[in-house]
Amino acid sequence: MLITVDLSNPKPVYLQITDAVRSAIAHGSLQPGDRLPAIRETAVQTRVNRNTVGRAYLELEHQGLVRARQGSGFYVTDDGTERERALRQEDLDGQVRDLVADARLSNTSTERLLEMVRECAETLDRGDDHE
């Protein structure tokens, strides 16, 4: 798994790191029992301070996705994959609720909203093809 960090991105660096790890867990490139890249290693590779990487890993531990083993490293928990998917689904559900509510507030019909989502997805697809 590869972790990339963009310092010009307004998203905090530690969140960029947790997102990268979470994506790897969601995609299966990191599975229950797998070890995360060492903090030092990730710090060197991303040119980020070790404390920042440590904080990102600690955050993942708080979410129950990984577990630290003294002197050994961070490992994806047994139910890490499930938890990750559940968390992600919750986030997406919340976003959809917010979007639908805001569309109401701006007098945008459900049909128009669905169209906007479809168009946006297609634009992204076309962009992906070219990359």
* List of residues contacting its own copies (CB under 8 A): 8, 10, 12, 19, 23, 26-27, 33, 62, 67, 69-72, 78, 85, 88-89, 91-93, 95-108, 110, 113-114, 116-118, 120-121, 124
Question: Judged by CB under 7 A, which of 20, 30, 39, 65 binds DNA?
Answer: 39
Can you tell me which residue has the tokens 């007098």? Answer: 107
d(CA 126, CA 49): 37
In the complex, minimum distance from the CB of residue 103 to DNA, in angstroms, rounded to a whole number: 21
In the complex, minimum distance from the CB of residue 57 to DNA, in angstroms, rounded to a whole number: 6
**Residues in Cβ contact with 39 at an 8 Å cutoff, skipping those fewer than 6 apart:** 50, 53, 54, 57, 74
User: By C-alpha distance, which of 62, 82, 66 is closest to 74?
Assistant: 66
Can you tell me which residue has the tokens 């990487």? Answer: 53
Contacts with DNA by CB under 7 A lie at: 12-15, 36, 38-41, 48-52, 54-55, 57-58, 68-74
